[in-house]
């Protein structure tokens, strides 16, 4: 802005010094103010308890469906229950105003990147939610929609060149996606990139957030994410967590801490629904981690807001409460960071369907299921082997079995992913070894040559 003012002053003085009666005043084109590096003042104190990459337990909050109020206050009312599960990262679905033009009321149709949807509350309400989460030892990350905006986002009027246009100059929806309620941004425009990054920074400073889950991360190009994450990492007062909604392991090289386990979810679902071999998971444990370094992780799950609405609940997809818990043990312990979708921990029997306004979570107590989630998560939180240990798979077609080992701790997990009794042959290397039960009181057991596993049963043993 200072450089522009200086240029105008020079032009003005030059014109004044050479002024004559027949001189035509120079035509000065309008100047679009550049995106500056200035940031808002920091609200609050940056949270010092952000977990390391491999230590995260993520809890996804669908604000609209989470409570009868469908707002920030409704989430804040249950922070103690979320904390009691063992959660240390809360992920809020989009908090921004939703566009009205061509709208289907999707929270991923962003009208303004630096404002709050009034149905959720105010900036003060968001700050209160984040402050309370921080006070309870939990980080908060926001959902960020970088690929597209609503059709009535102010950028379309003020910066049409920030959008992808067809041959006739008309702004386009994301090509080939069928998302007609949103307009595709143009990532060849440098000014738009800078503004997008500035708007992400806004929430770090203005609401003290701890990172972002980046929606449809495969839309914007890799070099944008490298640019954005590099800029965000330069906020040295904050430790930020960055999650890409992508199963492309190349995203690790752009700087993301996490990618999404789309492939893992699909593979696990096919094990249950199509009787596919359990050993298919082994290939994912290699392929999903290509380019991962320094503890970068895949976020794995048995449900989220998309698949819950489109495919069904974990109870439907993974064999009821017992089958879904057998699947969650694999999610939590084998390889990756686990994510829980709100209501999963009480075995919610109904779907939360788009646009998430009609159905509210009942929060009917289900202590048997909730306590199992607490026990599984608590062991993970306290096990260096599970979080960082070396994985050795002993799975067969029906049983997901593996050891995790780190320094002085070793864990052996067996989970029957079939709705039938299976006799599992104990690996030769583990026969005759002595273990304690990690989840059920620490009873000692010596492994023989085989073990009979009831439908959807699991064992977690430690040394």
Q: How far apart are CA 200 and CA 146, in angstroms?
A: 10
pTM for the full predicted model: 0.91
**Which domains does the chain possess?**
53-388 (3.20.20.80), 399-462 (2.60.40.1180)
- Tell me which H or E stretch contains 155: helix 154-158
> Residue 137 in 3-state DSSP?
coil
Residue carrying the six token digits 């929609």: 145
Say what the pLDDT of residue 140 is.
98
pLDDT at 26: 37
> The dihedral of CA 145, 151, 157, 160: what is its sign?
positive
- How far apart (Å, rounded) are the C-alpha atoms in residues 186 and 197? 14
Chain center to CA of 122 = 23
Quick one: which H or E segment has residue 251? Answer: helix 251-254
Angstrom distance (rounded) from CA 90 to CA 43: 19
| Ranges in the chain, pLDDT < 50 | 1-35
* DSSP character at residue 345: G
What confidence tens digit (pLDDT) does each residue in 1-34 have?
Answer: 434 333 333 333 333 333 333 333 333 333 334 4
Give pLDDT, residue 442. 82
CA-to-CA dists, residue 121 to 69, 196, 262, 341, 441, angstroms: 10, 23, 32, 22, 45
| Sequence-distant contacts of 367-374: CB under 8 A, at least 24 apart | 368/321, 369/321, 369/325, 369/345, 370/85, 370/345, 370/346, 372/325, 373/85, 373/325, 373/328, 373/340, 373/344, 373/345, 374/84, 374/85, 374/86
Q: Does residue 79 contact residue 132 with C-beta atoms inside 8 Å? A: yes
- pLDDT at res. 38: 84
Which residue spans within 44-186 are E strands per DSSP?
58-61, 89-92, 139-144, 148-150, 182-184
Q: Which residues have CB under 8 Å from 165's CB, separation 6+?
A: 171, 172, 186
Q: Name the phi and psi angles at 78, rounded to 5.
A: -110, 15
Are 210 and 240 spatial neighbours (Cβ–Cβ below 8 Å)? yes
CA angle 22, 28, 33 (to 5 degrees): 165
Q: Which residues contact 216 (CB under 8 A, 6 or more apart)?
A: 145, 146, 147, 245, 246
CA–CA separation, 6 and 9 (whole Å): 5
What pLDDT does 37 receive?
61
Three-state SS for 446? strand
């Amino acid at each position: 802005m200072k450089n522009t003012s200086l240029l105008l002053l020079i032009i003005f003085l030059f014109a004044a010094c050479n002024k004559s009666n027949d001189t035509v005043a120079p035509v000065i084109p309008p100047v679009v103010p550049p995106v500056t590096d200035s940031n808002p003042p920091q609200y609050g104190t940056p949270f010092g308890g952000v977990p390391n990459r491999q230590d995260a337990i993520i809890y996804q909050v669908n604000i609209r469906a989470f409570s009868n109020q469908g707002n920030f206050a409704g989430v804040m009312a249950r922070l103690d229950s979320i904390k009691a599960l063992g959660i240390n990262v809360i992920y809020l679905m989009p908090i921004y105003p939703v566009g009205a033009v061509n709208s289907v009321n999707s929270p991923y149709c962003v009208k303004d990147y630096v404002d709050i949807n009034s149905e959720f509350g105010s900036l003060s309400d968001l700050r209160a939610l984040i402050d309370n989460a921080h006070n309870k030892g939990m980080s908060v990350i926001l959902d960020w929609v970088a690929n597209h905006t609503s059709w009535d986002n102010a950028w379309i009027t003020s910066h049409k060149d920030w959008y992808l246009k067809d041959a006739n100059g008309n702004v386009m929806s994301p090509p080939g996606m069928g998302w007609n309620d949103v307009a595709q941004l143009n990532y060849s425009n440098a000014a738009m990139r800078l503004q997008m990054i500035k708007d992400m920074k806004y929430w770090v400073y203005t609401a003290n957030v701890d990172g972002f889950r980046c929606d449809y991360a495969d839309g914007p190009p890799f070099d944008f994410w490298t640019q954005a994450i590099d800029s965000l990492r330069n906020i040295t007062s904050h430790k930020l967590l960055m999650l890409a909604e992508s199963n492309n392991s190349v995203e690790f090289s752009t700087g993301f801490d996490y990618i999404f386990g789309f492939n893992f979810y699909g593979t696990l679902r096919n094990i249950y629904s199509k009787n596919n071999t359990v050993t298919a998971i082994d290939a994912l444990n290699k392929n999903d981690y290509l380019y991962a370094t320094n503890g970068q992780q895949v976020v794995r799950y048995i449900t989220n807001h998309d698949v819950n609405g489109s495919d069904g609940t974990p109870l439907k997809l993974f064999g009821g409460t017992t089958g879904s818990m057998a699947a969650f043990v694999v999610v939590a312990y084998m390889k990756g960071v686990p994510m829980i979708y709100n209501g999963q921990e009480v075995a919610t029997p109904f779907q939360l369907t788009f646009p998430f306004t009609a159905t509210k979570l009942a929060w009917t107590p289900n202590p048997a299921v909730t306590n199992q989630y607490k026990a599984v998560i608590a062991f993970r939180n306290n096990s260096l082997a599970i979080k960082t240990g070396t994985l050795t798979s002993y799975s067969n077609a029906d049983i997901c079995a593996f050891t995790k080992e780190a320094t002085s701790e070793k864990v052996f997990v067996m989970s029957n992913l079939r709705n039938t009794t299976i006799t599992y042959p104990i690996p030769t290397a583990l026969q005759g070894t002595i273990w304690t039960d990690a989840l059920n009181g620490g009873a000692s057991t010596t492994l023989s040559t085989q073990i009979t596993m009831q439908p959807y049963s699991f064992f977690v043993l430690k040394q």
